[in-house]
Chain A
Amino acid sequence: MNNDKITSAQLACMLFLSILATSMLTSPSLAYGIAKNDMWMTPLIGSLGGFLTVALSLALYRRYPGCTLIQYSDLILTKWLGKPISLVFLFVCLQMNANQLRQFAELMKLAFMVNTPIIIFAVSMMLVGAIVVNLGIELIGRLSLLFTPIIIIIVAVLILPLIRGMEPDQLLPFMADGAAPILRGAFALQIWFPTYIYAAMFLPYVSDINKARRWLNWGVCWSTTIFTLSFLYIVMSMGAASQHFSYPFLLLSRYVTIASFMTHLDALIMILWVLDVFIRTIVMYYAAVSGFSQWFQLPSYKPITLPVGLLIVLLTFWSIPDITTYNFLAYIVLYYYTLGNICIPLLLYIIALFRSGPAQDEHSPAPSGSGPSVLHGEGTA
């Protein structure tokens, strides 16, 4: 591996910001659509996905120190079975990259820069991302640590002025339709929470590994807190209107006035959006690039940075002709995000439990087609 090192705190910030980036704008309307005004409880339950993935990545790392998920899936499942499964994980990773890039570009075009070609947003973000990725993991960690307070301050500035106008009454009726919608809403949030599995891709670079568990669990707690607070904020200030708008948080940021003369604060949310998606891009991009280099067992990931970037830009526009299709995809990506980020690590861990030590030849080479079906079996069990 490289000599670059990050600290556990930086890793927690990286993943925390990655989740915050896209969730801030799109999760409220998704969650409101399912759980109505009880949606503020969904992150409390949904966070279990975060804690589970943190535990999985740490437990697997303890068994295979110095290895990323791509590397130990070969060790756990043998090369024949491990390669296809880690390839599925990498494809989900590519898809996440592509989705967030499309989301970023669409929102910039919709709300801020109507005439700019959408490809400019995607490509410029990817090129800047490529520079950062090539400069190494250490820079990503430091940038995340640097941006975390800025982003939290922006979120606070957007939320605080409207506190007076909130109506706690909007939270009633409490659980009118029982617990089922909340559970379904918590499941929908699994688009975001299991992103913490990407700790498995970064743990080998962490210098203070003994603190990793504490920091990562704190990260999940922060994510839960900020999810819950922003959901409470949206329900209490918009109530039933939350379902009318696609980006409730963006809308509220336009609604905020500070002391009745500072209005039109959506420039702030643009700063938040660009900074935060930038962090998410470099984190996920790095995971994809380093993952592929490990999959091909390359000595360095740098030569494939740009090719992978091109692949991501392609996926950004491939088969998503318009925003309606994209929004519909949210219900589908949920399943394959869950597959990639929860089912695959869970499968690896369960099999690793049954095997001691590095890979032996117990599993006869299976046809690669059986990989995904095994996964489905595990996922539903």
Chain B
Amino acid sequence: MRLSMHASARFIRCSCVRVAAPLLLAALLSGCWDRTEINDLAIITAAGMDLADDGKIKLSVQLFVPSPPSSEQGSSTSSPGASNKTIIRYATGLDMADAAARLQEMMSRRLFWGQADVFIFGEKLAKRSIKEPMDFLTRHPHPRERANLFVSDGEAEEIVKWKTPIERNSAETLREMAVLQTGLNTSILQVIEELAEEAHTAVIPVVRIMRKKPEVPFIGGTVAIKDLRQAAKLDSLETRGLLWLRNEIKFATLTAPAYPGGDYASVYIYSANSKLVPSIKGNKWSMLVAIEATSNLNENASTLDITKEANVKRLERTFEGIIQSRIDKTVKKAQRSGIDYLGFAEQYHRHYPKHWLAAKKDWDTRFPKIEVRYKIRLTIARNGLTGKNATLQSGGGNNS
């Protein structure tokens, strides 16, 4: 009797627990606070920041609007681009966050920054300050630090709304072009890293639109940022020099007369490595640019017989000279402007910390006086499928 009472009490307690547990779980079921459906999102693929006339920031975004899955099934036979479209929206605000909030007011879907691969500063904004947008982009948890940064030649809006024939949208085009690295490829993290370094400068590639029909944006040139605003502008060729200094050259094609007065020859550099070696002797600061590059001969229309070792060496010296003059052009330009976007300051900081501490204050006057020396070593490793090109010479093989 007593035993069964005890047992039934336990049974009741057990069933109470069994009823209570699902009820408690049910309380959690409703709580999907951070649930987001993909068709509630307006996915930003690229954003352009321009300076509006009244000093506000004009934000133009390129949105990728995923269509609901039901319609996608219907259109699965047609091209995938048909069901998903890219649209452009604009908003103006006091700062970037304000502009984004205003943009949100006009949207039926929630803005999502997590897939934004490209951010473009308008030229006018870059000339004023990139501080505001940069703070937003690093503070907000959504934008990715790997996103590419660009400065546009003119309005950023132009680039954002440009419709590309090849890739999905202009953001994708720009990103792919940056990866191919004919110009710089800078992510948000890299820019922050450079701004945090001793010289407080950074370089951001420039996008411009070719003004002929058809209009094509391309990455040509670089903007140097000093004190968070655009301080200097390099053209494409000077950017190549900058890439050499920054050890970011991956591929390069160099073309020059094979010998003075001769026809052109070209080499394709497929592996390059550069290094800045600072040195201080007494009061004389100098910087050695050491470069090693390996290349293949791509073209040789001249009469130079490249099957002879001495001629290959001559050709190598010629192209070493080309590289040097390219870099020197960039260095001279930087030194004339007094803005150290070449990364010299960081090298002195790393290798001569004590000297650097003393020279830090008047770096802008010291930087132009630094002597830059070069040690360039270029190897032509292969000469292609043909050797001596006697057949293609008008007079036959009459070279030395």
Partner of B197, one of A240, A245, A255: A240
Partner of A241, one of B141, B146, B192: B192
Interchain nearest-CB distance for B228 vs A (Å): 13
Chain B interface residue count, CB cutoff 8 Å, equals 21
Give complex CA distance A139, B145 in Å.
40
Q: Does A264 contact B (CB under 8 A)?
A: yes
Partner of A173, one of B31, B141, B349: B349
Contact at A113–B34, with CB atoms within 8 Å?
Answer: yes
Q: Does A298 contact B (CB under 8 A)?
A: no
> Which residues of chain B (151-195) have a CB below 8 Å from chain A?
187, 189, 192-193
A111: B residues at CB distance < 8 A: 141
Partner of B350, one of A120, A173, A241, A254: A173
Known: A173-B351, A239-B197. A254 touches B34 (CB 8 A): no
Q: Does B75 contact A (CB under 8 A)?
A: no
Partner of B138, one of A239, A240, A245: A245
Give complex CA distance A169, B354 in Å.
17
Q: Does A1 contact B (CB under 8 A)?
A: no
Least CB separation from B357: chain A residue: A176
Q: Does B68 contact A (CB under 8 A)?
A: no
- Give the interface size bracket for A toward B: 20 to 34
Q: Does B196 contact A (CB under 8 A)?
A: yes
Contact at B193–A114, with CB atoms within 8 Å?
Answer: no
A238: B residues at CB distance < 8 A: 189, 193
A112: B residues at CB distance < 8 A: 34
Least CB separation from B349: chain A residue: A173
Q: Does A110 contact B (CB under 8 A)?
A: yes
Give complex CA distance A251, B147 in Å.
13
Q: Does A244 contact B (CB under 8 A)?
A: yes
> Which residues of chain A (103-117) have a CB below 8 Å from chain B?
110-117
Give complex CA distance A238, B191 in Å.
11
Least CB separation from B197: chain A residue: A240
Give complex CA distance A173, B350 in Å.
4
A176: B residues at CB distance < 8 A: 353-354, 357
Least CB separation from B352: chain A residue: A173
Give complex CA distance A110, B142 in Å.
10
Q: Does A23 contact B (CB under 8 A)?
A: no
Least CB separation from A256: chain B residue: B146
Contact at A264–B138, with CB atoms within 8 Å?
Answer: no
Q: Does A257 contact B (CB under 8 A)?
A: yes
Contact at B196–A244, with CB atoms within 8 Å?
Answer: yes
A257: B residues at CB distance < 8 A: 146
Contact at B196–A114, with CB atoms within 8 Å?
Answer: no
Least CB separation from A257: chain B residue: B146
A116: B residues at CB distance < 8 A: 31, 33-34
Give complex CA distance A271, B71 in Å.
35
Q: Does A172 contact B (CB under 8 A)?
A: yes
Partner of B192, one of A114, A115, A169, A244: A244
Contact at A114–B114, with CB atoms within 8 Å?
Answer: no
> Which residues of chain A (153-176) have a CB below 8 Å from chain B?
169, 172-173, 176
B31: A residues at CB distance < 8 A: 116, 120
Least CB separation from B34: chain A residue: A113
> Which residues of chain A (301-318) have a CB below 8 Å from chain B?
none
Interchain nearest-CB distance for A240 vs B (Å): 4
Contact with B along A96-129 (1 / 0, CB 8 A): 0000000000000011111111001000000000
Give complex CA distance A245, B193 in Å.
11
Least CB separation from B348: chain A residue: A173
> Which residues of chain A (219-257) have a CB below 8 Å from chain B?
238-241, 243-245, 251, 254-255, 257
Interchain nearest-CB distance for B49 vs A (Å): 20
> Which residues of chain B (329-351) have a CB below 8 Å from chain A?
349-351
Give complex CA distance A165, B145 in Å.
15
Q: Does A263 contact B (CB under 8 A)?
A: yes
Interchain nearest-CB distance for B279 vs A (Å): 14
Known: A173-B351, A176-B353. A254 touches B33 (CB 8 A): no
Partner of A255, one of B138, B189, B350, B351: B189
Interchain nearest-CB distance for A196 vs B (Å): 33
Give complex CA distance A243, B193 in Å.
10
Give complex CA distance A112, B34 in Å.
9
Give complex CA distance A176, B357 in Å.
10
Give complex CA distance A173, B354 in Å.
10
Contact at A239–B193, with CB atoms within 8 Å?
Answer: yes
> Which residues of chain B (349-374) have a CB below 8 Å from chain A?
349-351, 353-354, 357
A-B contact pairs, 6 of them (CB 8 A): A114-B141, A117-B33, A120-B31, A176-B357, A255-B189, A264-B114
Excluding A172-B351, A173-B351, A255-B144, 14 further A-B contacts by CB distance (< 8 Å) are: A110-B141, A114-B141, A116-B33, A117-B33, A169-B350, A173-B349, A176-B354, A238-B193, A240-B193, A241-B192, A244-B138, A244-B196, A245-B138, A255-B187
> Which 10 pairs from chain A and chain B are nearest by CB?
A240-B196, A172-B350, A173-B353, A176-B353, A241-B193, A115-B33, A113-B34, A116-B33, A241-B192, A241-B196
